[in-house]
């Protein structure tokens, strides 16, 4: 056609993962050797960059103890506080119950907002690992965490934390009503495996939890209420530092 220019673009085909370039440098599209383009989701790219972290509350054979009775907003089972200059995006939360006591009702919630973490009395610091094992990045939430400022803690005492006060939202809820006597007949229950999961892929889009200071720390809370519940919590999040968001 008049005025039309046809250009064939040829790039080296590579099955190996491409090496990152310096910030602002030119890059070529990534092709397999069969010519197919390869693209990544944002989350896959963040993992490649070493920006994804996994936090564990309870490890190996040592579970944490969940709050007894109803959900109490000042007793989070996992409490995240983000400092100024940083932002996290929660992508995945999994709660696994090991002991469930004698109550027939189990309920949980993920909430976020901004505020002061309070004293977080009784809190135990969570284990945080980079999801790229050779990455030199470290989560600021694992950098000298403090109960009264930043970090991820579990097993906070009843009335031990302060609930967020700004931009409060309940991101996700779980609930199970056991249909039989769970002490004597758990094997016949319609819910024999008690796990609760939030995933950005199948549930609500994830929030951007922007850090602050004073009464404006970025906050994320995970709650699980059971009569005598014990278990484990896994949190996967992306983190960005100053000038990155």
* Residue 34 counted as domain residue: no
The closest of 227, 237, 225 to 76, measured between CA atoms, is 225
In DSSP terms, 87 is beta-bridged to: 210, 240
* Residue 207 counted as domain residue: yes
* Residue 35 counted as domain residue: no
For the chain, the straight-line distance linking the first and the last C-alpha, in angstroms and rounded, comes to 45
* Residue 164 counted as domain residue: yes
* Residue 79 counted as domain residue: yes
**Total domains present in the chain:** 1
* Residue 84 counted as domain residue: yes
Q: Per residue of the chain (245 residues), what is the pLDDT tens digit?
A: 566 666 666 667 666 767 777 888 877 777 777 777 778 899 999 999 999 999 999 999 999 999 888 899 999 999 999 999 999 999 999 999 888 777 667 899 999 999 999 999 999 999 999 999 999 999 999 999 999 999 999 989 988 999 999 999 999 999 887 655 555 555 555 555 678 999 999 999 999 999 999 999 999 999 998 888 899 999 999 999 999 99
Q: What is the DSSP letter of 31?
A: B
The tokens for 245 are: 């968001």
User: Which helix (DSSP H) or strand (DSSP E) does residue 44 occupy?
Assistant: helix 42-49
In which domain, by residue range, is 110 found? 51-240
Are the beta carbons of 164 and 219 closer than 8 angstroms?
Answer: yes
* Residue 4 counted as domain residue: no
- Model-level pTM? 0.87
* Residue 131 counted as domain residue: yes
């Amino acid at each position: 056609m008049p005025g039309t220019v046809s250009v064939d673009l040829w790039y080296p085909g590579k099955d190996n993962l491409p090496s990152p370039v310096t910030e602002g440098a030119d890059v070529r599209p990534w092709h397999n050797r069969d010519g197919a383009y390869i693209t990544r989701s944002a989350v896959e790219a963040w993992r490649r960059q070493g920006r994804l972290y996994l936090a564990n509350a309870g490890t190996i054979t040592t579970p944490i103890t969940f709050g007894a009775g109803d959900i109490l907003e000042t007793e989070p089972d996992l409490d995240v506080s983000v400092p100024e200059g940083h932002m996290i995006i929660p992508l995945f939360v999994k709660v696994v119950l090991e002991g469930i006591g004698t109550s027939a009702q189990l309920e949980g919630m993920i909430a976020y907002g901004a505020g002061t973490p309070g004293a977080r009395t009784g809190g135990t610091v969570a284990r945080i690992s980079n999801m790229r094992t050779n990455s030199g990045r470290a989560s600021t939430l694992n950098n000298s965490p403090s109960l009264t400022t930043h970090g991820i803690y579990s097993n906070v005492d009843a009335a031990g934390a302060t609930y967020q006060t700004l931009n409060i939202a309940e991101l996700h809820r779980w609930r199970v009503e056991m249909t039989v006597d769970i002490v004597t007949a758990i094997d016949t229950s319609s819910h024999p495996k008690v796990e609760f999961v939030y995933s950005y892929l199948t549930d609500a889009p994830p929030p951007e939890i922007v850090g602050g200071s004073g009464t404006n720390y970025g906050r994320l809370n995970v709650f699980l209420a059971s009569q005598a519940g014990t278990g484990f919590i896994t949190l996967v999040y992306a983190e960005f530092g100053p000038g990155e968001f």
